């Protein structure tokens, strides 16, 4: 049994803390541990660290090795180019097959928060049992507590019984991020779950589906497989990866597969997608104000504000619904509800070639 942690994102919505060399999952945003350290900590009771692989980019590899000393350095797999989740998962499957043959792999995002780790491990363990069946693709769906337009959705079909006391359903459809009317309809029906981005399957099952539904990607993976462990590995990986199609595993495989199953789950899941989400997760005072654990803040006649400022005192007077994030070289002041647009600041910095802020 292996775990594959996808850690290639940039986390542009978390600027100015998130930077190219140290994006969201490498930051201590929700606790005194970084998000990826929390991700590894959660699965260590059921998956040995020697069987945990992390797929990332070159700029993040050194910091990852530093933060995850119990994960063998050889298990940090570097993608020469970001090519979305299908390529990432395919590459990890090749490494697992080379090491252990046709083993089960649990694919997990690096940047999510989980409130109930015990329940999370129970759901994951049941999903692993289901994935032991031949030719089976398994995912985890989060029971929605409200309509949300920022998540994809999984529609369940008929019940397929229970595993370890947990009901599993056939996946009827995978839906893209909906508008609010659709999201409300999904939640009202009771048949839809938020797409967690967690997948469990045998390496043979996912590689067979990639061959069937994404033949160009599969051709590239075959070339890479032949070069693994040889003197030509790095060069082949770079040459082939550059030409691979960029597509998510959801759109490329899960939307087309007829052998996919979903375990509904409710373990306090959050994608930690923006500063607004951080505010929602934070402990607040009676006025709805919150400060990061390393920050000092004074709130006077102020409501529903969030402060991150580890190096200086921040005082907010007569304001409401603000997010303030102070770093050594940049200051973000954002109205709550608009933090998804922080990525536009990063886009502008890129356009103006202000690399020192990236």
Interval 131-141: pLDDT, tens: 999 899 999 99
User: Which residue, of 252, 270, 288, is where some domain finishes?
Assistant: 270
Q: Are residues 242 and 280 in the same domain?
A: no
User: Which residues are registered as beta bridge partners of 298?
Assistant: 315
For residue 201, the SS3 value is strand
CB-based contact 207:221 (threshold 8 Å): yes
Domains in the chain, number: 2
pLDDT number for residue 338 = 93
Band of the pLDDT at 200, cuts 50, 70, 90? Answer: very high
Quote the pLDDT of residue 8: 82
Find out whether 214 and 252 touch, Cβ atoms under 8 Å. Answer: yes
Residues 195 and 120 reside in one and the same domain: yes
> Is residue 328 exposed (0-12), middle (13-18) or buried (19+ Cβ within 10 Å)?
exposed
Q: Could you tell me the pLDDT band of residue 34, with boundaries at 50, 70 and 90?
A: very high
pLDDT band per the 50, 70, 90 thresholds, residue 329: very high
301 contacts 317 by C-beta, under 8 angstroms:
yes
Residues 6+ apart with CB under 8 A from 287: 299, 302, 303, 304
* pLDDT, the chain, mean: 95
Q: 46-66 pLDDT, tens per residue?
A: 999 999 999 999 999 999 999
| Structural domain containing residue 133 | 2-270
pLDDT score recorded for residue 9: 78
Q: Do 258 and 283 lie in a common domain?
A: no
CB 89 within 8 A of CB 206: yes
- Separation of alpha carbons 257 and 277, rounded Å: 32
Same domain assignment for residues 179 and 141: yes
- Residue 224 pLDDT: 97
- Both 193 and 105 in one domain: the answer is yes
200 & 336 share domain: no
Q: How many whole angstroms from its chain centre is CA 127? A: 18
Contact (CB, 8 A) for 253 and 86: yes
Question: In this predicted structure, what is the pLDDT of residue 248?
Answer: 95
233 and 327 belong to one structural domain? no
Percent of the chain with pLDDT over 70: 100
Alpha carbons within 13 A on the beta-carbon side of 25? 26
**Mean pLDDT across the stretch 301-311?**
96
Q: Do both 299 and 343 map to the same domain? A: yes
Q: Around Cβ 156, how many Cβ atoms within 10 Å? A: 22
Which of 219, 252, 270 marks a domain boundary? 270
What digits encode the pLDDT tens for the residues 315-327? 999 999 999 999 9
Question: If residue 104 lies in a helix (H) or strand (E), which one and from where to where?
Answer: strand 104-109
pLDDT tier, 32 (very low <50, low <70, confident <90, very high otherwise):
confident
Stretch 185-209: mean pLDDT: 96
pLDDT on residue 312: 94
| 293 shares a domain with 210 | no
Select from 270, 292, 318 the last residue of a domain: 270
Looking up residue 249, the CATH number of its domain turns out to be: 3.90.550.10
Mean pLDDT of the 23-45 span: 92
Whether residue 290 sits in one domain with residue 261 = no
**pLDDT mean over 286-298:** 92
The reply to whether 222 and 246 lie within a common domain is yes
Whether 81 and 186 share a structural domain: yes
Model pTM? 0.91
CB atoms inside a 10 Å sphere around CB 354? 10
Question: What is the per-residue pLDDT across 93-133, written as a single tens digit (0 to 9) for each?
Answer: 999 999 999 999 999 999 899 999 999 999 999 999 999 99
**Whether pLDDT at 20 is above 90:** no
Preceding omega of 329 cis (within 30 degrees of 0)? no
């Amino acid at each position: 049994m292996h775990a594959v942690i996808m850690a290639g994102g940039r986390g542009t919505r978390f600027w100015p803390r998130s930077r190219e060399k140290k994006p969201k999952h490498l930051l201590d945003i929700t606790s005194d541990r970084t998000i990826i350290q929390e991700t590894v900590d959660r699965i260590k009771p059921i998956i040995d660290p020697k069987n945990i692989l992390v797929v990332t980019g070159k700029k993040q590899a050194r910091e990852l090795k530093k933060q995850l000393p119990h994960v063998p350095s050889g298990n940090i797999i570097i993608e020469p180019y970001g090519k979305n989740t299908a390529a990432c998962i395919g590459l990890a499957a090749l490494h697992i097959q080379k090491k252990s043959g046709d083993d089960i792999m649990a694919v997990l995002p690096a940047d999510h928060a989980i409130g109930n780790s015990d329940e999370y491990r129970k759901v994951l363990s049941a999903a692993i049992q289901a994935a032991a069946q031949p030719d089976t693709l398994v995912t985890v769906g989060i029971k929605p507590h409200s309509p949300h337009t920022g998540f994809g959705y999984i529609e369940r079909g008929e019940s397929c019984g229970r595993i370890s006391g947990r009901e599993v359903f056939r996946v009827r459809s995978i839906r893209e991020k909906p508008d609010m009317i659709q999201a409300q309809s999904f939640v009202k029906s009771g048949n839809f779950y938020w797409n967690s981005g967690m997948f469990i399957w045998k390496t043979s099952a996912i590689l067979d589906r990639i061959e069937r539904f994404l033949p160009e990607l599969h051709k590239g993976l075959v070339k890479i497989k032949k070069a693994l462990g040889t003197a030509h590995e790095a060069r082949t990986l770079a040459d082939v990866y550059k030409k691979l199609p960029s597509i998510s595993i959801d759109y490329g495989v899960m939307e087309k597969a007829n052998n996919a199953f979903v375990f509904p789950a409710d373990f306090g899941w959050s994608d930690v997608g923006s500063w607004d989400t951080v505010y929602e997760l934070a402990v607040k005072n009676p006025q709805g104000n919150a400060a990061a654990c390393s920050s000092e803040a004074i709130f006077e006649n102020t409501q529903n504000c969030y402060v991150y400022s580890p190096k200086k005192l921040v005082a907010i007077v007569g304001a409401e619904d603000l997010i303030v994030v102070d770093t050594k070289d940049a200051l973000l002041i954002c109205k709550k509800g608009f933090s998804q647009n922080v990525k536009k600041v990063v886009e502008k910095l890129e356009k103006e070639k202000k690399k020192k802020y990236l």
